[in-house]
Amino acid sequence: MSSGIRFDSVSVAYGKNVVLDGLDLTVEPGEVMALLGPSGSGKTTALRAVAGFVRPASGRVFIGDRDVTSLPPHRRGIGMVVQQYALFPHMRVEENVAFGLKAQKVARAEIPGRVADALSMTGMAAYAKRFPRELSGGQQQRVAIARALAIRPGVLLLDEPLSALDAQLRSGMLAELARLHRELPDVSILYVTHDQVEALTLADRIAVMDRARLQDCGTPQELYRRPRNEFTASFVGNANLLPVSVGVGSVSLGGAEVKVDTGEVAAGVSATLCVRPHLVGLGPGPNALAGTVTEVQWRGATHRLYVDVDGQSVKADLRELRKPPSLGEEVTVHFAPEDAVLLSAGVTHD
Ligand SMILES: Nc1ncnc2c1ncn2[C@@H]1O[C@H](COP(=O)(O)OP(=O)(O)OP(=O)(O)O)[C@@H](O)[C@H]1O
Ligand SMILES: [Mg+2]
């Protein structure tokens, strides 16, 4: 059963407080969409609107071509995993996984096979008789995923499913989720996270939310290389965001003239130049800027330099730097014109 998700101008309010503001977003059948954004931006609310746990003040929610806006949660054909494991503590693993099947009135004879399938898919077949308290955090989360998959949902909603796990377990589970999706290529997944690594690793596309609104949406590469606004630029990856004034085919940054593609940005306006720190080089080159080193941080694989250029702090992440410059040293940094993106209010890059 393959079905996408569509938000059509969905708004949710608690009292006068609008926490989801006119969300338009489509998750294609079989696609993994990450919903990325800071705390309180409305991610869980969007998920709950799909699940049916919150009713939109306006707009419609579609699963496949079915308008589910008024359907109760159990009739929407979705599997959901929430941040805290939320297993039933008094039920064994197999009973937890069978729970949704019973609620859906699946034929009694079919249930044990479906439970066994879901548990083996998540690597938990050997734990069927245990109680949740006899499992580690990662194992409990696998059971929660098995429970969501047992009903063979067309749509899987995951709300920060890895946030309760430590970093090492998290990256292992991330690989497992990717494998699971390869085994179930028809399932559409909406994956809420505030962790950009999870979003970049797992998602086909990322929807970036801030303050109840969708700010940007695109493939991880698009958002990273051509962010539409400062929020996306700084939330997806690291960014130098440098105030500049725009000329024709170039901008001025402090006293220096810098070549970039100014696109549709009109000459004369103020804008922000986004350059990724790992694309900034040390020494002479195109778009060279003279500055003073204000900080040097060793980060294992790279050195992070902070260089003051006319009062702007420019970050550069440099590999293979045998002899880093010293504090206060006069240096030149540079970047290729094609590695800079000009951001201006009201201008978007598609
Ligand atoms: N039941 C509720 N009643 C009133 N306000 C609520 C309710 N649930 C959520 N909110 C508010 O809605 C806003 C969005 O909440 P939501 O849970 O969607 O954020 P989130 O993006 O998932 O954040 P986090 O990353 O912290 O989980 C927040 O300001 C929150 O306080
Ligand atoms: Mg949340």
144 membership: H or E segment, kind and range: helix 137-150
Closest-lying ligand to the alpha carbon of 38?
1
**pTM across the whole model:** 0.87
How confident is the model over 120-145, as a mean pLDDT? 91
Is 168 a pocket residue for ligand 1 (Cβ < 6 Å)?
Answer: no
Is 37 a pocket residue for ligand 1 (Cβ < 6 Å)?
Answer: yes
**Of residues 19 and 142, more confidently modeled:** 19
pLDDT one-digit tens code per residue, 45-91: 999 999 999 999 999 999 999 999 999 998 898 888 887 768 999 99
pLDDT one-digit tens code per residue, 10-32: 999 999 999 999 999 999 999 99
How confident is the model over 283-311, as a mean pLDDT? 95
Q: Is residue 350 scored above 50 in pLDDT?
A: no
pLDDT one-digit tens code per residue, 311-326: 999 999 999 888 899 9
Which pLDDT belongs to residue 347? 44
Measured at the alpha carbon of residue 247, what is the angle toward residues 244 and 252, in degrees to the nearest 5? 35
Whether residue 313 contacts residue 307, with contact meaning beta carbons closer than 8 Å, is answered with yes
DSSP classification of residue 220: H
How confident is the model over 225-235, as a mean pLDDT? 91
Fold of 5-225: Rossmann fold (3.40.50)
Residue 77: which of 114, 108, 103, 59 has the closest Cα? 103
Going by alpha carbons, the residue nearest to atom 3 of ligand 1 is: 14
What ligand 1 atom has the least distance to the C-alpha of 46?
A: 18
Going by alpha carbons, the residue nearest to atom 20 of ligand 1 is: 40
> Which of 20, 23, 41 should be mutated for ligand 1, with most atoms under 8 A from CB?
41
Domain residue ranges in the chain: 5-225, 239-344
Is 212 a pocket residue for ligand 1 (Cβ < 6 Å)?
Answer: no
Q: What is the mean pLDDT of the chain?
A: 91
CATH architecture of 239-344: Beta Barrel (2.40)
